[in-house]
Structure 1
Amino acid sequence: MKPLSRRTFLRGSGVSLALPLLEAMLPLRLRAAAETAPRRFVAINIPLGFIPANFFPEQAGADYALSRYLQPGEALRKKFTVFSGTSHPSVDGGHSAEKSFLTAAPFPGARTFKNTISLDQFIAAKIGDQTRFASLTLGEKTLSWSANGVAIPPEQSAAKAFAKLFLTGSAQEIANQQRDLRDGRSIMDAVLDDAKAMERKVSAADRDKLDQFFTAVRETEQQLAKTAQWSQTPKPEVKAKPPGEISSIDLVGTLRAHFEVMRLALETDSTRLITLGSTGYGNVPRIPGVQLGYHGLSHHGKNPDMLRQLELIEQATIQAFFDFLTSLKDSQSNLLDHTQVLLGSNLGNASGHLTTNLPMLLAGGGYKHGQHLAFDARNNYPLPNLFVSIAQRMGVETDKFATSTGTMRGLV
């Protein structure tokens, strides 16, 4: 069938309506390419990072030898790229940099700091309406921030996240939810009318604040309408058993429970955007051979015994991560090929609270992986460039994110 012209209009009663780009307007070869599995993005932050010498390979390029921490991923080495010498320009503040992991907003340690939109929410604004949940935010601390720089509360419990994704309430509970949604929309209408009337009576500075408020109201209305629609759609059924509540001292168990819920969420297409923030780094992890707190061990001062215990924690963490990647690869639809999975940290060296030379790894997503992209460890390459590449891979038309200067150089 001959493709439609891209200049096709609908005409009638003196009105012409330009159509958006449709599949029918594409050549047949491009139409076939468009009928692919949906693209997904997962971001995981390990806020205390990794011992640099154990994480970063010594050689650059495709023929690098896997570092000690990357050796468990030998079977997957063609499925991931490791980066060194990258960081967010002007992001400082030690542990405060966790707030900027996905936003790259500068100076998070400053008293006047105002965050910006995170990468997942930047993408969700374009594709979030395609799934029941626009995004899923997990962990003790959030990685997700709205367009106005407001933190999106994370779901700390994997068990509760599972219930939110897959467990359905009774008919009465669903009816109550639909009633609340209807009430919510009418309340929003009333608030919006009042706010618009107020706008004519306030200063220019207040009008800016009100404009931000109107934006938030519109976003809330859109979310309410979407939730109402999905409340009448049955949740997907999964054979997996719900995870039990896990103690916060079981660091590895918590990670693995979150990873399983994340895999199920992607496999059922409940969401295409997931972030996982910190989990239990203030505790003594339940790992054989570890007697001291995780956070305290990160400030090891090169003490041999503390380094040994810290290595046990980091090895268990990276093993759980590679097991997660393997579960995506071995899924029925090979989720890994269509899912960009970013693992990294807001600290390059937690012992000195350094926010440069961040340990970063990108897996899956259809890239030509299998390399170590090594940039200058002193004069770092801008990490937001990788975020631009990720957003573009997700179908977002953009050439800028935060302090980026382009796309990630060397990523094929």
Structure 2
Amino acid sequence: MSKLSRRGFLRGTLQGAAVGVGLPLLNCMLNSNGSAFAASGKRIPVRFGTWVWGCGFIPELWIPEKTGRDFEFPAHIAMLEPYREKLALFSGFDVKLDGVPNKPHVTGCFGLRTGIPVPDYNVKAPTLDVLIADQIADTRFSSIELCSAGIERSYSYRDAGSPNPSETSPLALYQRIFGEGFQDPNAAEFTPDPRYMVHKSVLAATGEERRQLMREVGAEDRQRLDEYFTSIRELEQKLALQLEPPAPVENFDMPAAPPDTIVDSEMGNVMENHKLMAGLLARALQCNQTKVFNMLFSDTASNLRRPGSSSTHHTLTHEEPEDPELGHQREVAWFAQRSMVAWKDFLDALSAIPEGDGTLLDNCLVLAHSDCSIAKAHAVEGIPVMVAGNAGGRVRTGFHMAGNADPISRLGLTVQQAMGLQVDSWGTLNMATNRSVTELLA
């Protein structure tokens, strides 16, 4: 028997409409370790995402004393011990300001994500997640943004005027992904929606006019039009995907709709919403709704608060005195540790889904970071970063690396290279680098 493709279907017609019956994931579609599709050589997709928490950390409770593989997890990340071999920890990498004013909770975040220190939200380059999505996104959603703390913003930007908004409610997230337009990859039959055929035809009919317009306008207008037509191309891609049967997905179960939860900044509600959203996102990744995501646990000026309190995490970083016995702010430390508990919850959601000969986490590269190191000083030196997952074997994990004040753009460059981008250097001025973190690349 000839080899079958994972996208194999039994095709026919029903009352004049084309229909397809998807084949299950068969052994003959896979290589010996279950990670590559035999007919095409195509591997299980690699996904990229970011996970952000605000207001930094308590260095002595987060940074391991040793570098390399033989390190111990300090108190605030001790709960991550089960993921030792799936994590790489990075400390001591800096955003170089180059004379740019440090806009608290902004400059550090976007310096890390763009390689450019910026004094405000006027982001002058795509964030690295957008660059990666442009390379790998062949899915219904080019990226999915989420925030469990009720903030509609994200730190995913194509340019200053194009931030990608976040979903803030688990129920709204569910409806967006698994509501109208979702195609169950394991459904017995597939019938294209005629509405998508009409929309695709209309867009296709204007293609030549768009190309002609691009040839006639000046450089500045071409840039504006290119940004606009990018959204058109994404819509065309989405419509094309809706007109063909989705590939069957092993171990996929349609998730149930979550409850209509309270969306605010109270820590208990945020933790609950984060868990629900992480589970839904994991299912979306599993059934190829997107390959890129940005999860915002708390915004960079963290609005998290304890139950019954009006004092936010951010406010406490400035107003709470240091505990003389502990040597740091007690309440701030509580929020910092809870953020790491949430990070473990996120890893739990990805690792709970089997995929190939491993888990969904094994086929992800997740860049987790904050916006500063010590929030009280708004320090952009030593911003804490972790990489989780193995990107389908493209990255090595299980170690702690000290950056020794190197530009944090080294990490951004390396992550892009691991995701297949042909980029040799990244960043500007003192953030410009061509030095990959070779310890991370497999």
User: If the TM-score is normalised by the length of the shorter chain, which range does it land in?
Assistant: 0.7 to 0.9
- Measured in 2, the distance between the counterparts of 1:127 and 1:301 equals 45
Query: Following TM superposition, by how much is the alpha carbon of 1:108 offset from its aligned partner in structure 2, in angstroms?
Result: 2.8
Matching residue of 1:122? 131
Instruction: Give the letter aligned to residue 343 of structure 2.
Output: F
Matching residue of 1:258? 277
Query: Following TM superposition, by how much is the alpha carbon of 1:176 offset from its aligned partner in structure 2, in angstroms?
Result: 5.1
- Measured in 1, the distance between the counterparts of 2:272 and 2:415 equals 29
Query: Following TM superposition, by how much is the alpha carbon of 1:117 offset from its aligned partner in structure 2, in angstroms?
Result: 1.0
Query: Following TM superposition, by how much is the alpha carbon of 1:361 offset from its aligned partner in structure 2, in angstroms?
Result: 0.8
TM-score normalised by length of structure 2: 0.73
The RMSD of aligned alpha carbons is 3.3
More helix by share: 1
Matching residue of 1:23? none
Query: Following TM superposition, by how much is the alpha carbon of 1:119 offset from its aligned partner in structure 2, in angstroms?
Result: 1.0
Instruction: Give the letter aligned to residue 361 of structure 1.
Output: M
Check if 1:106 corresponds to 2:122: no
Change (3 A) 1:34 1:302: farther
- Measured in 2, the distance between the counterparts of 1:389 and 1:395 equals 10
Task: Name the count of aligned residue pairs.
Answer: 367
Change (3 A) 1:258 1:99: farther
Query: Following TM superposition, by how much is the alpha carbon of 1:275 offset from its aligned partner in structure 2, in angstroms?
Result: 0.9
Matching residue of 1:374? 402
* Structure 2 residue ranges without an equivalent (≥5): 1-35, 184-192
- Deviations, residues 100-146 of structure 1 (Å, cap 9, x unaligned): 44212223349xx44201111111111112x2222212223222111
- Measured in 1, the distance between the counterparts of 2:350 and 2:297 equals 21
Matches within 5 A, 1:10-409: 35-90=42-97, 92-97=102-107, 98-109=109-120, 113-129=122-138, 131-139=139-147, 140=151, 141-146=153-158, 150-168=162-180, 179=198, 182-183=201-202, 197=216, 199=217, 207-233=218-244, 238-243=253-258, 244-249=260-265, 250-277=269-296, 279=298, 283=303, 285-286=305-306, 292-300=311-319, 302-304=321-323, 307-333=329-355, 334-365=359-390, 366=393, 367-376=395-404, 380-402=405-427, 403-409=432-438
Change (3 A) 1:208 1:323: same
- Measured in 1, the distance between the counterparts of 2:206 and 2:375 equals 47
- Measured in 2, the distance between the counterparts of 1:343 and 1:39 equals 17
Q: Contact conserved, 1:60 with 1:373, CA < 8 A, in 2?
A: yes
Query: Structure 1 residues 392-401 or 147-156, which shifts more?
Result: 147-156
Query: Structure 1 residues 150-159 or 61-70, which shifts more?
Result: 150-159
Change (3 A) 1:248 1:182: farther
- Measured in 1, the distance between the counterparts of 2:303 and 2:118 equals 27
Change (3 A) 1:63 1:56: same
Query: Structure 1 residues 335-344 or 294-303, which shifts more?
Result: 294-303
- Deviations, residues 31-80 of structure 1 (Å, cap 9, x unaligned): 98954322111111112122222211122222122111110011111211
- Measured in 1, the distance between the counterparts of 2:56 and 2:377 equals 11
Q: Contact conserved, 1:252 with 1:317, CA < 8 A, in 2?
A: no
- Deviations, residues 152-208 of structure 1 (Å, cap 9, x unaligned): 23333332222221112699xx655665565566678667756755x3xxxxxxx22
- Measured in 2, the distance between the counterparts of 1:302 and 1:221 equals 52
Instruction: Give the letter aligned to residue 285 of structure 1.
Output: R
- Measured in 1, the distance between the counterparts of 2:367 and 2:233 equals 29
- Measured in 2, the distance between the counterparts of 1:227 and 1:149 equals 23
Change (3 A) 1:185 1:246: farther
Instruction: Give the letter aligned to residue 307 of structure 1.
Output: Q
Instruction: Give the letter aligned to residue 396 of structure 2.
Output: K
TM-score normalised by length of structure 1: 0.78
* Structure 1 residue ranges without an equivalent (≥5): 1-29, 200-206
- Measured in 2, the distance between the counterparts of 1:149 and 1:408 equals 32
